[in-house]
Amino acid sequence: MNRRNLLVRLMLIVFALTLLAGAGYTQCTPHGTKGAAVAATVDINSASKEELAALPGMDASSAQKIIENRPYESPEELVSRDVLTQAQYDKIKSRITANKK
C-alpha cells in the first residue's frame, strides 16, 4: 500500500506541474503573435470613442480629437494634421487603419 500511495502522489505532482506549465505558457505569449488574444485592427474613420480610447496610450480626449477630425485618407494623417503626437501614433500604428467609405 505504501508503494501505491507513492505512485498516486507522484502522478498528482506530475499533473499539477503540467497544469502550472500550461498556465505559465499562456500568460507568456508575446503580443503580436497570431491568436485569439490579439486585438483586431481599428478603423479610425468609424470606430467609437470607446474603441479608440482602448488603444495603447490613448485616452478619451485623444479619441474625441480623432473623431472630430474625420475623415482620414491614411493613418499617418493623425500626425500630419496634429491630431496625435508622433509618440502616440507610434504606439497604435500597427493596430489602426483608415478605411474609405
Express each pLDDT in 17-71 by its tens digit. Answer: 776 666 554 444 444 444 444 558 999 999 999 999 999 999 999 999 999 999 9
Collapse the DSSP code of 15 into the 3-class scheme (helix H, G, I; strand E, B; otherwise coil) and give the result. helix
Asked if residues 41 and 75 have their Cβ atoms less than 8 Å apart, the reply is: no
Task: Count CA within 13 A, CB hemisphere, residue 67.
Answer: 15
Express each pLDDT in 55-65 by its tens digit. Answer: 999 999 999 99
Respond yes or no on whether the N-terminal peptide bond of residue 71 is cis (omega within 30° of 0): yes
Q: Please report the pLDDT score of residue 78 as a whole number.
A: 98
The residues pairing with 43 across neighbouring beta strands, listed in sequence order, are 97
What does the block give as the cell for 38? 490579439
Q: Please report the pLDDT score of residue 13 as a whole number.
A: 84
